[in-house]
Amino acid sequence: MSIEVIQTKNAPAAVGPYSQGIKAGNTIYVSGQLPINPYTGDLYKGNDIKEETKISLQNIQAILQESGASLKDVVKCTVYIKNMDQFGLINEMYGEFFKDHKPARVCVEVARLPKDANIEIDAIAVM
């Protein structure tokens, strides 16, 4: 099986010793994406969890596109959030990205995320 590192300038650079994504055979593992602007490196820290969710998912989308995949290939996501009270708002934006195709998902509330972000999302896709 071939293993390929996925790297795109259209998603934020890794904030540690890991890859944006890895393609192993026909499976793509996208590392957790924070709501970081890929062009400035700035973390979005407004009071709008829907916008933060959107940016995280756009970053996932960019990494998938670099590997030749799309959101329709996603089979599982994990969503890490700092405030479970925002679950409904997160779902609203998440649902705009996954309309007809709904991958398996886990959502957990965590005490803290890198860069003190409010949300982080990772994904697994199969082509």
pLDDT tens for residues 44-58? 978 899 999 999 999
- Strand order through the sheet with 21-24: 3-6, 21-24, 27-33, 119-126, 74-81, 104-109
Q: What is the pLDDT of residue 1?
A: 87
Place of tokens 């005490």: 111
Select the CATH number that applies to the domain covering 3-126 from these four: 1.10.150.20, 3.40.50.2000, 3.40.50.1100, 3.30.1330.40.
Answer: 3.30.1330.40
Active-site option among 15, 107, 113, 124:
107
Q: Are 77 and 30 in contact (CB under 8 A)?
A: no
Q: What is the pLDDT of residue 64?
A: 98
Mean pLDDT across the chain: 97
Q: What is the pLDDT of residue 15?
A: 79
Place of tokens 């916008």: 51
Q: What is the pLDDT of residue 45?
A: 79
107 is catalytic: yes
Closest to 62 (Cα-Cα) out of 103, 93, 24, 20: 20
What stretches in the chain show pLDDT beneath 50?
none
Query: For residue 28, which amino acid is it?
Result: I
Place of tokens 């994406």: 33
Q: What is the pLDDT of residue 43?
A: 96
